[in-house]
Amino acid sequence: MAEREPRRDRREDASPEFADRLVAINRVSKTVKGGKRFGFAALVVVGDQKGRVGYGKGKAKEVPEAIRKATEQAKRQMIRVQLREGRTLHHDMEGRHGAGRVVMRAAVPGTGIIAGGPMRAVFEMLGLQDVVSKSLGSSNPYNMIRATIDGLKKEQSPRSVAQRRGKKVAEILRKPEDAAAAEAVEA
């Protein structure tokens, strides 16, 4: 009799392309009549390392269950970010959430990810290879991740800007001094 392969969960088959990173785990306690009840809160960042990233938080009595809940939430609220050459940002940007503020800058090839803590996790899951960033204000991991995602939502590729303005990408990417010279020639 031939042995069957164990059946896989359908959700597991549906998204094996996502990588996840546990950013923070926090033990919380509730004081009740008989003593303290402990629970856990997890913060997870999920991404496909090709321009999609999301974060989630989960709470449960056990650590693995909290991580599972956070991962599911992160997969539900993913955002897409346009990357330049598949390795860096198109332009410099700033994100804010609460007292947390982050500044992200595009970088030349070979720079690597220059970021701290939770921001690094977001960039690695996003698939960024070259970026320089700085966090200002709150160092709370929840606020830092939310501020980073806020900044990434503001990014616009030259193609989308050109399409919105009804111009060609070359016109958008032209430097101001080149544009002045081109206008002088046309006049």
The amino acid that residue 35 corresponds to is: G
Q: What is the pTM of this model?
A: 0.80
Residue 157: predicted pLDDT: 84
Question: What does pLDDT average to over the chain?
Answer: 86
Domain boundaries, the chain: 15-79, 82-165
Q: Which amino acid is at 184?
A: A
Question: CA-to-CA distance for 80 and 118, rounded, in angstroms?
Answer: 18
Kindly report, residue by residue over 48-87, the tens digit of the pLDDT: 988 899 999 999 999 999 999 999 999 999 999 988 888 8
Quick: pLDDT tens for 135-161.
999 899 999 999 999 999 988 888 888
CA–CA distance from 161 to each of 149, 156, 165, 175 (Å)? 20, 7, 6, 15
Tell me whether domains 15-79 and 82-165 share a fold: no
Q: How many Cβ atoms are within 10 Å of 21's Cβ, its own excluded?
A: 17
* Residue among 128, 130, 134 at smallest CA distance from 147: 134
pLDDT for residue 101:
93
- Residue 11 — pLDDT band, cuts 50, 70, 90? very low
- Listed in order, strand segments (DSSP E) in 9-152 are 19-32, 35-47, 52-60, 79-80, 93-97, 100-106, 113-114, 131-137
**Residue 44 clears pLDDT 70, i.e. is over it:** yes
Convert the pLDDT of each residue in 118-127 to its tens digit.
999 999 999 9
What ranges make up the beta strands (E) of 71-167?
Answer: 79-80, 93-97, 100-106, 113-114, 131-137
- Record the tokens describing residue 84, joined without a space: 């330049």
- For 15-79, give the CATH class: alpha beta
- Rounded CA-CA distance 100/72 in Å is 25
Q: Which residue has the higher pLDDT, 184 or 149?
A: 149
Q: Is the pLDDT of residue 183 over 70?
A: no
In which element (H, E) is residue 138 found?
Answer: none
Work out the number of other CB atoms within 10 angstroms of the CB of residue 117: 14
Fold adopted by 82-165: Ribosomal Protein S5; domain 2 (3.30.230)
Per-residue model confidence (pLDDT) at position 5: 54
Q: What's the pLDDT at 10?
A: 44
